[in-house]
Chain A
Amino acid sequence: MNWPQVELTDVERFRALAAGVPGAAVTERVLPQDPDRVQAMLADLDVFATIQADLVSATLEERDGDRVVVRAKGARGQRARLEGQLRPGWCWLQSRFLITGMAVAAEPGGGTRVALTGGIRVPGRAAIIPIRVRHESNKTLDRLQELLRERGQ
């Protein structure tokens, strides 16, 4: 029996995961660049640290398949041990006090859809304190867009 199959994009899957995190808001934007280029850029932890408002650095500490541990340093000297999944087009990381995620998918008709979520975690819980989360995500997307333009053609 040849049953029809459905394959979801990473952005569609991302919306579902974020739905399980009260307080999380998914902010999306379609960028004109190709998915491969956006994916490559987001896979770089230096880029990750550059576009996140409060980070000055992010360093890969461990990797096992797509499972990673990342050491992040904040602008005010705070440190975080983020663990989670990092693979092309997908990033989901948590520490005790932070949750951050990004997903990328080719947009029908051209360009790349980027989805972001994240914020201050209710410690140890699947919940985000819903303060300025969309504002921060929009700023992160602005910086990503700027970086893509700077490093453009």
Chain B
Amino acid sequence: MRAAQRGDTVAMNEVLDALTPYVGRICGPIALHDGADAAQEALIAIFRGLHSLQEPAALFGWARAIAVREAVRVARRGQRQRPAELADLPAADDPQLAIDVQDVLRRLSPEHRAVLVLRDLEGMDEHAAAAVLDVPTGTAKSRLHRARASFRKAWSS
């Protein structure tokens, strides 16, 4: 990582190899059919800013914040679906959540998908997720509540 920041482009290529699956994992559930565009734009932003990262050990956390931001932005840009209708919630370990989530994700807004990804895929707590999303903890909490509620609604309908 230090070599990549010093301008070794072969080392940058190795950073790219390491980051690509991770960025794809974040962008896929948030940007859905725009996931590839979002992941590409996130990686572009990451590589443009790589030299400015102060603490190389923080690479993945820094990349995660950029990936979430770009995924929400690209998803909003390309959004064609209606926003979700919302009801009440299952917990993160609810067995209902083990069902294919794609149809339900499609009915959520990008912001709701982002908080779900950070909490349930990345395992972050509400406080940390709120920091990545740059919103108050209460907002992250209510988005999560509403996102899970739409899962409940989808399965009970």
Contacts and interface: CB of A to CB of B under 8 A. Distances in A.
Do A and B interact with each other, yes or no? yes
Interface of A: 1-9, 12-13, 15-17, 19-21, 83-85, 92-94, 99, 124-127
Contacts of B8: 94, 126
B105 A4 contact: yes
A16 B9 CA distance: 12
Interface string B115-153: 001001100000000000000000000000000000000
A5 B24 contact: yes
B36 A83 contact: no
Report the contact-size class of chain B (Cβ under 8 Å from the partner): 35 or more
Nearest to B46: A16
A6 B47 contact: no
A7 B22 CA distance: 10
B12 interface: yes
16 contacts: A1-B98, A1-B120, A2-B99, A4-B28, A6-B24, A6-B35, A8-B39, A8-B40, A12-B39, A17-B16, A19-B44, A21-B12, A126-B4, A126-B7, A126-B9, A127-B7
Given A6-B27, A6-B28, A94-B9, A20 B48 contact: yes
